[in-house]
């Protein structure tokens, strides 16, 4: 989508964090509107990292760096999201960096229904 979300979050505090890079473009506006209508959070802008760990693409001149790849998750799972960052050392034939997100989910044990209990008889 090449959506640049930027660092100006005025009016979008419920959708994205304040740790974006650069300025928002038209695709970034559309993406943030989509996230607002679906109750999503843009995960890459929530966590503070060095700029080199936020940048997702580098143009061929090695000067222009953009944060154009994002992870959008439901607000329901916001507390499960631990970290989102980019790994620059992954070997692939692209100008994009590998994006990694860490989650922690709590899994509840399934409860057995009352059918498995022995029935009591009035003797």
DSSP of 91-123, one letter per residue?
--SSSBPEEEEEE----PPPPPPGGGSPPP---
Q: Picking from 7-11, 24-28, 79-83, which range would have the lowest pLDDT averaged per residue?
A: 7-11
pLDDT at res. 91: 64
Higher pLDDT, 69 or 73: 73
Element (H, E) at 52: helix 51-54
Say how many C-beta atoms besides its own lie within 10 A of residue 73's C-beta: 18
In whole angstroms, give the CA distance from residue 31 to residue 117.
52
Prediction pTM value: 0.71
How is the chain split into domains, by residue range?
A: 26-116
Q: How would you classify the pairing of strands 65-66 and 57-58?
A: antiparallel
pLDDT tops 70 at residue 73? yes
Split at pLDDT 50, 70, 90, the class of 117 is low
């Amino acid at each position: 989508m090449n959506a640049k979300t930027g660092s100006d979050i005025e009016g979008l505090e419920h959708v994205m964090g304040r740790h974006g890079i650069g300025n928002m473009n038209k695709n970034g506006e559309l993406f943030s509107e989509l996230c607002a209508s679906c109750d999503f959070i843009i995960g890459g802008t929530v966590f503070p990292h060095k700029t080199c760990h936020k940048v997702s693409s580098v143009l061929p001149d090695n000067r222009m760096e953009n944060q154009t790849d994002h992870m959008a998750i439901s607000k329901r799972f916001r507390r499960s999201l631990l970290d989102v960052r980019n790994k620059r050392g992954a070997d692939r034939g692209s100008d994009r960096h590998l994006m990694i997100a860490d989650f922690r989910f709590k899994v509840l044990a399934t409860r057995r229904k009352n059918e498995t209990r022995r029935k009591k008889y009035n003797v």
